[in-house]
Structure 1
Amino acid sequence: MDFTDPLENLLAERACERVIHEFVHRLDLGEPASVAELFTEDGTWSWPADGRLVEGRAALRDYFGSRPADRLSRRLMSNILVTLITPDTAVATSYFSTYRVDGYEGGIVPTGAPVQVGTYEDAFRRVDGQWLLDSRVLSLPFGGPTPRAVG
């Protein structure tokens, strides 16, 4: 990649945005454990305010795969800003809102306020031509407990 080529820069930025969207898509509509594939082998996910740090693909697979099977969630991503640092590294900031309930058995759940509103600070690394998350840091200024679905 020619770091001064605007088209190559745009394609790299778009690839990183795609990883951000793929992450929430897999959590909400796919197999949550598969988000580990979006990280580098030594990638990390952390929530400093809560003291959580998950390191490496195997640990990430276990962590995200341990979500309750009866959890219904939808995440909204916005204000995604990707900045290339080098031809093979980038950073991004994105905002998210999470709507979710546990105990979901089907049908429509009455809407409530989001249970989380925050930001992700991401670092990306290109490995064998593929952009992957090297680290993802969660900041959560608005949050509350996950409610139970009322049947």
Structure 2
Amino acid sequence: MDRLEALVAERDCEKLTYRYCRFADGGEASRLAGLFTEDGVFATPDLELRGRPAIAETFARREALADLRTLHLCTNIDVELLSRSAARGWVNLCLFRRWREPGSPGPVPVTTPALVASYEDEYERVGGRWLFASRVQHVAFADPTDSGWTRPGRH
């Protein structure tokens, strides 16, 4: 692989993180599954999803939570090419996640992130397109008041 090919491959892998953030935060979470291989894995300390159908089902439920606001800030993306069709990467994450009042269009008052973490990614080139083969989240800091995808006061 020449340097230009390597640069394009690295950039394509980086763009997966940017699209992940855009879809997750922009009300299009159901599109996240399309960023993964058919047998892709998405894992957090609380959740492990295996395969595109499981990822699609879970993130479609997330998309339906219209009053849950999130903002994923991802930085320090480092992609290492292993071959023409495999790569791995590391990404730092600062996630703001809070519930807004139902129907409120305004911003949610918040000053602290729900969590600060990193993603350890594996990428695979399938049909000329780079996809997540695996995305594993490692949490470094967590807000103990964060209720995740469950509105506070509901079980």
TM-score by length of 1: 0.89
Alignment partner of 2:61 out of 63, 66, 71: 66
Counterpart contact for 2:27–2:66, Cα < 8 Å? no
Residue of structure 1 in register with 2:128 after alignment: 129
- Greater CA deviation, 104-113 or 19-28? 104-113
5+ residue gaps, structure 2: none
Question: What's the offset of the Cα at 1:33?
Answer: 1.2
Q: Deviations over 1:48-86 (max 9, x none)?
A: x33x21011110011112122211111101000000001
Aligned residue pair count: 144
The answer on whether the counterparts of 2:100 and 2:108 sit within 8 Å (CA) in structure 1 is no
Q: Secondary structure at the residue paired with 1:58?
A: helix
How far apart in 2 are the matches of 1:6 and 1:64? Answer: 36
Is it true that 1:97 corresponds to 2:94 in the alignment? Answer: yes
Deviations along 1:23-69, whole A, 9 cap, x unmatched? Answer: 0110001410110000000101012x33x210111100111121222
Gap regions ≥5 residues in structure 1: none
| Secondary structure of the corresponding residue to residue 120 of structure 2 | strand
Letter in 2 for 1:14: R
Tell me, yes or no, if the aligned pair for 2:33 and 2:56 is still in contact at 8 Å. Answer: yes
Distance (Å, rounded) in 1 between the aligned partners of 2:48 and 2:106:
35
SS at match of 1:63: helix
What's the % identity of the aligned pairs?
Answer: 36
- For 2:111 and 2:61, the matched residues in 1 are separated by 24
Cα deviation, 1:94-133, whole Å, max 9, x if unaligned, reads 0010112113421122231101100000000000000000
What is the alpha-carbon distance in structure 1 between the residues aligned to residue 71 and residue 147 of structure 2? 12
Distance between the aligned counterparts of 2:76 and 2:84, measured in 1?
Answer: 23
1:142, distance to aligned residue in structure 2 (A): 0.9
RMSD across aligned positions (CA): 1.6
Local SS of the residue matching 2:119: strand
Name the residue aligned to 1:84: 81
Which runs of structure 1 show a deviation greater than 3 angstroms over 4 or more consecutive aligned residues? 146-149
- TM-score scaled by structure 2? 0.87
The secondary structure found in structure 1 opposite 2:82 is strand
